[in-house]
Amino acid sequence: MTQQELAELAESRRALISDIERGEANPTFDSLVRIAITLGVEPADLLKGSDR
């Protein structure tokens, strides 16, 4: 899924998705929930640290 597709499905902006991915922005609770629903995961899953 592209950032644009995720943004459209989560009713967000592609630039915000990009900023969140790069750690340059923090999503609001509502944005976090919409992104999680779109991805089919729990919001808490998006808050876990990366293994990278």
Alpha-helix runs per DSSP H in the chain: 3-9, 14-21, 29-39, 43-47
Task: Tell me the residue range of the domain where 40 lies.
Answer: 3-44
Q: Is residue 38 part of a domain?
A: yes
pLDDT of residue 13: 97
User: Phi then psi for 20, rounded to 5 degrees?
Assistant: -65, -45
Angstrom distance (rounded) from CA 22 to CA 17:
9
pLDDT of residue 36: 98
Q: Is residue 52 part of a domain?
A: no
pLDDT of residue 51: 64
pLDDT in tens, 1-52: 999 999 999 999 999 999 999 999 999 999 999 999 999 999 999 988 766 5
Residue 35 · residue 27 · CB < 8 Å: yes
pTM score of the predicted model: 0.85
Q: Is residue 13 part of a domain?
A: yes
Q: Is residue 50 part of a domain?
A: no
Name the domain count of the chain: 1
